[in-house]
A and B are shown apart, each in its own frame.
Chain A
Amino acid sequence: DAGVTQSPTHLIKTRGQQVTLRCSPISGHKSVSWYQQVLGQGPQFIFQYYEKEERGRGNFPDRFSARQFPNYSSELNVNALLLGDSALYLCASRSVPGLAGRGTDTQYFGPGTRLTVL
């Protein structure tokens, strides 16, 4: 089975531009999460989507938005890019969020999209 796929692999933008990153989850997985990994740091949670609804949001400005499609793929959009948005953006999928309020199932990560803002 194919793992989590992300596109594009690399992206170069200039300050003020907008960018859209794409993610396809593992077949059968209905939940997608997005993480930002700045060089030298651990990943930081941005969003979780399940059944096309936002189920969680990290401490990121409104310039960051996302959506999930009926086929459970997802897009992450970032507007008005800043130099500090340069990072590896990771997508993770899992079958379903924890039904008892805890995410007990494993998140599987894609290879990421490397965004460079000049």
Chain B
Amino acid sequence: AQSVTQPDIHITVSEGASLELRCNYSYGATPYLFWYVQSPGQGLQLLLKYFSGDTLVQGIKGFEAEFKRSQSSFNLRKPSVHWSDAAEYFCAVGGYNKLIFGAGTRLAVHP
């Protein structure tokens, strides 16, 4: 079955600290992977995507993610978190006509 697991429901970091959000997927074929961010009351904004090639992908707002096939993971990272990064983050795997999302990780940032 196709699925996405985000093991951390909530994460709290201090401003300026590094961040890693975990994502594990189950997919029968080569996965197309995405990270989206959602601010309160807003829709989803694409941070980055992986289709093929270099397994380390760069996104907007200083985010990056690394695809590790052997671990079925696509973890999101940022070296220094800003207060404006507080939001909910969703990992998704893409198929022909739909995205399958994880349950999300809510990020809180302490000043």
Contacts and interface: CB of A to CB of B under 8 A. Distances in A.
Is chain B a partner of chain A in the same complex?
yes
Interface of A: 4, 33, 35, 40-45, 48, 55-56, 58, 90, 92, 97-98, 101-104, 106-112, 114
Given A41-B104, A102-B94, A102-B95, 14 more contacts: A35-B99, A41-B103, A43-B44, A44-B101, A45-B99, A45-B100, A56-B97, A102-B32, A104-B94, A106-B49, A107-B94, A109-B36, A110-B43, A111-B43
Contacts of A104: 32, 51, 94
B42 interface: yes
Interface in B67-98: 90, 92, 94-98
Given A58-B98, A102-B95, A108 B46 contact: yes
A103 B96 contact: yes
Interface of B: 4, 29, 32, 34, 36, 41-46, 49, 51, 90, 92, 94-104
- Of listed B32, B49, B92, B98, residue having the most chain A CB within 10 A: B98
Contacts of B96: 56, 97-98, 101-103
B46 A106 contact: yes
CB-CB nearest 8 A-B residue pairs: A42-B101, A56-B97, A45-B98, A109-B44, A48-B97, A111-B43, A109-B43, A43-B101
